[in-house]
A and B are shown apart, each in its own frame.
Chain A
Amino acid sequence: MKIFFSILLTAILTQNFVLAKFLGICPFLGVSKKTKTATGMSLAVIFVMVLATAVTYPINTLLVNNGLEYLQTIVFILVIAALVQLVEIVLKKYMPPLYNSLGIYLPLITTNCAVLGVVLLNIDNGYSFAESMVNSLGAGIGFLVAMVMFAGVRERMESSDVPESLKGLPITLVAASLVSMSFLGFAGLVENIFA
């Protein structure tokens, strides 16, 4: 049980996907103007990450058993793309309210490096199925935390007086740098809790 908490907290705080591992920067910078859209996008990411891990883990076992590890990249990206399409169709048909709030973000998630990243990292780290699922959930929640926090910062920035040359993207990145710095404070936290 301890190891699951350790993996979960590491993925959310110390090894935050966006702020420490730089995965999923495009949506982090692009869709974080408003807290509402940031939350919607993040929920869709959590959903797809966990689902993608559940689907790719058995596929990976199959590939490894047949000595086809080198096909991982191709197979995973196709599986994720197909999965996202499928989820979109299912949601549209059976859960229209959920589709209306998440649907817009689903196509964007296919090429989101965070999803493919979490799947590949699970394999690199040699996690078991349960550990992989926990790690994916943690990575997704970490993404949500970073997105919502950053959206809050950006909403405030709209009304602040920014130097002319920094306006737009540069000040956004400087703000991201500061948010990321605050997460450095968590370094060593998980190791010490579970030591």
Chain B
Amino acid sequence: MAEKKSLGKELTKGFLDENPVLRLVLGTCPTLAVSTSVESAIGMGLAATIVLICSNIAISALRKVIPSKVRIPAYVVVIASFVTIVQMLVKAFAPSLDEQLGVYLPLIVVNCIILGRAEAFAGKNNVLASAVDGLGMGIGFTIALFLMGFIREFFGTGTVTISLINDGKALWSPIFGENPILIFILAPGGFFVFGMLIMLANKIAERKGKPKAQLHSCKACPMFATCTSSEKEDCDR
């Protein structure tokens, strides 16, 4: 019973308390880049979730085989393999999504969330817990992306379009008529909406007595482990 309870916790911690995007501030590049529409946001979220679960399972299963000195390159190879598989699947079965995500699909390789979870969790825990952790973090990532995508598409076009629902037509007629707030879809809108979401997440965390989301210049980076000690001190200047 205790085991089950802790697994549930591993799953749900990624949703809000340790949300990889809004609380840990990881994976900011894809969050900002593909959140111009709900569809591409969810597509990216799902692709990253699949990679995250698979790589967490593989790395956790191999954790006793991989020597700790070369673990980062080994993790990167595992992650890159799964990204390539997902990339081929998306190209074959969802070519329009592949077009929307473009270069950001292969760039899942360097998504800090995935390498970060491999380093912080999968390399130390058993396979089941790692898979659950990957699922939870993936869902958390997808939630954050969905929020960003929804807000940006809603204000930027006045409506939301998902090709699988309602025959690819807009879900409702644009509420701003001919003049939506286009800036939300453009780059500045991405930064702005992300800032506002982090502020909200901070507010919620504050109420629970947790600290604000911090961007650690180096500590959040998975490559931090490979820095030498003198460099680590320089890092936080």
Binding site for B on A (CB under 8 A): 19-26, 29-31, 33-34, 37, 70-74, 77-78, 81, 103-104, 107-108, 110-113, 116-117, 120-121, 124, 165-174, 176-178, 180-181, 183-184
Contact = CB atoms under 8 A, between A and B. Distances in A.
Provide the main secondary structure of the chain B interface: helix
Given A34-B237, A116-B110, A172 B218 contact: no
B221 to A, nearest CB: 6
26 contacts: A22-B187, A25-B29, A37-B237, A70-B84, A73-B109, A77-B110, A81-B76, A104-B227, A107-B223, A107-B226, A113-B107, A116-B109, A116-B110, A121-B103, A165-B203, A169-B195, A169-B198, A169-B212, A170-B199, A173-B191, A173-B195, A173-B198, A174-B192, A177-B189, A178-B188, A181-B188
B136 to A, nearest CB: 22
B215 interface: yes
Nearest to B219: A30
Nearest to B192: A177
Contacts of B195: 166, 169-174, 176-177
A22 B215 CA distance: 17
B79 to A, nearest CB: 9
Contacts of B223: 107-108, 110-111
A168 B213 contact: yes
B107 A108 contact: no
Given A72-B106, A111-B222, A29 B187 contact: no
Given A73-B87, A184-B187, 13 more contacts: A20-B187, A22-B32, A23-B33, A30-B216, A30-B218, A70-B84, A74-B80, A107-B227, A167-B212, A169-B213, A170-B202, A174-B192, A177-B192
B77 interface: yes
B88 interface: yes
A66 B88 CA distance: 18
Given A24-B29, A112-B110, A116-B109, A181 B222 contact: no
A19 B217 contact: no
B234 interface: yes
A113 B113 CA distance: 13
B84 A173 contact: no
Contacts of A74: 77, 80-81, 84
Given A124-B103, A177-B189, A178-B188, A169 B214 contact: yes
Contacts of A29: 25, 28, 215
A108 B218 contact: yes
A73 B84 contact: yes
- Max chain A Cβ within 10 angstroms of own Cβ: one of B115, B195, B214, B216: B195
A182 to B, nearest CB: 9
Contacts of B25: 29, 169
Nearest to A16: B187
Which 3 pairs from chain A and chain B are nearest by CB?
A173-B195, A177-B191, A22-B33
A21 B33 contact: yes
B231 interface: yes
Contacts of B110: 77, 111-113, 116
Contacts of A73: 80, 83-84, 87, 106, 109
A171 B88 CA distance: 39
A185 to B, nearest CB: 11
Contacts of A21: 33
B186 interface: yes
B196 interface: yes
B220 interface: yes
